[in-house]
Amino acid sequence: MRVLFLAPNSPKTGNCTTAERIRNHIVAAGHTCVLCDTREFRSASDVSSLMMQEPRFEAALAIHLFKGGRLLLDAGVPFGVVFGGTDVNEDVKDEHKRAVMEEVLRKARFAVAFTDKLKGRAEELLVRNVKSLQLWVLIACVRTKQEENVRVFLLVCGLRRVKDPLYLLEVFAEWHSQNPLVVLIIIGPKIDPVFTAEVEESVKRSVGVYLAADLSQEELHAAMQKSFALVNSSLSEGMSAAILEAMDLGLPVLARDVPGNAAIVKHEVTGLLYSSPQEFVSMSRQLLDDHELQERLVRNGKNFITTCHNPMTERIAYQKLCWCSTFVVLLVCSEDWV
């Protein structure tokens, strides 16, 4: 089967990582999967025109109901959608976008949510009986030597406002002034040029906080291995790939207490959830001094990935969804023959 896969595909973002992973699952089942960036299309008619070209696409998949799903409304083939955090945290607030997403769900053969909480919010705000499958991340581990003295807190995010990378800037600079061995490094692609300039200017005026260029996945995993903890400061999340990668790589996680993070981080079990910059510093100090806490978070985080985010289970699930879509197409064709 030839599948068109639409996703917001900015390089080195969580969406890009997730899209490539799902595409690999589909290809491993023997299908052809063509991954396209949603920014390549202005409207659903552009995708409809692509569908008419040879060789024809027989099915489609999209990440994000509004960004990707809306482009499949006139595709003329069975399609499925994967919820992003933006769908239920941001786009649902816009009446036009909400109406479009509801139409997408009415036409989609299946919908996938990252977590049970994301599924519940989608059901509450958009439509009932949306199917949910757990998603997870397959990581290639890159081991590097841990620095002995400096403790690096690594904040991985695309530079856009919803990720709120400046949330901890002031308190971390104050903490660094008291303890020069703690530093905060922000790594991620420059998605919003205006906001990126604001971040760059703010970091320049701060001490102990650094902004690094975005890295390849292998380089990023190496940076994680050199760090003391992974930090998330987002205003909202669907499912943070960086958090799951950190758990898999044996890195403690300190995440802002928002629903998307709380769905995958259990406080003081698989990570630490903070609600204010001051609470972040307090928890970070505790983590530095409490080796038993460090070991427990790392151990439980790794177990969580192994038991709840198994890549082979995800692969089988997506392959089954594609098979079901093919079966429906064949069934329709058989009825036409009759």
At 273, give phi and psi (nearest 5°).
-110, 125
Instruction: Report whether 296 contacts 55 (CB < 8 A).
Output: no
Question: What tens digit of pLDDT does each residue of 61-117 get?
Answer: 999 999 999 999 998 888 889 988 888 888 889 999 999 998 898 888 778 887 777
Judged by phi (left if over 0) then psi (alpha if -120 to 50, else beta), residue 268 lies in left
pLDDT for position 60: 93
Name beta bridge partners: 232: 255
Choices 3.40.50.300, 3.40.50.2000, 3.40.50.150, 3.30.420.10: CATH for 2-136+310-337: 3.40.50.2000
Question: What tens digit of pLDDT does each residue of 32-46 get?
Answer: 999 999 899 989 999
CA-based nearest residue to 239, from 262, 266, 272: 262
pLDDT per residue, tens digit, the chain (338 aa), is 889 999 887 766 667 778 888 888 888 877 899 999 989 998 999 998 898 888 989 889 999 999 999 999 998 888 889 988 888 888 889 999 999 998 898 888 778 887 777 877 887 888 654 443 332 222 222 222 333 578 999 999 999 999 999 999 999 999 999 998 999 999 989 999 999 999 999 998 888 898 887 777 887 888 898 899 999 999 999 889 899 999 999 999 999 999 999 999 999 999 999 999 999 999 999 999 999 999 999 999 999 988 887 777 778 878 877 776 655 555 554 444 33
Q: Do domains 2-136+310-337 and 151-308 have the same CATH topology?
A: yes
Domain ranges, ordered by start, for the chain: 2-136+310-337, 151-308
At 83, give phi and psi (nearest 5°).
-65, 140
Provide, rounded to the nearest whole percent, the portion of the chain with pLDDT above 90. 47
At 10, give phi and psi (nearest 5°).
-60, 135
Task: Detail the DSSP E strand segments found in the chain.
Answer: 2-7, 32-37, 59-63, 79-82, 110-112, 151-156, 182-187, 209-212, 229-232, 253-256, 272-274
Name beta bridge partners: 33: 3
User: Which CATH superfamily, name and number, covers 151-308?
Assistant: Glycogen Phosphorylase B; (3.40.50.2000)
Q: What is the C-alpha radius of gyration for the chain, rounded to an integer number of angstroms? A: 21
CA dist 92 and 122 (Å) reads 9
Q: How far is CA 178 from CA 24, 205, 233, in A?
A: 47, 17, 22
Instruction: Report whether 189 contacts 214 (CB < 8 A).
Output: yes
pLDDT for position 159: 93
Specify burial of residue 324 (Cβ count, 10 A radius: 0-12, 13-18, 19+). middle
Please give the torsion angle defined by the CA atoms of residues 36, 241, 29 and 332, in that order, rounded to the nearest 10 degrees.
-60
pTM of the complete model:
0.59
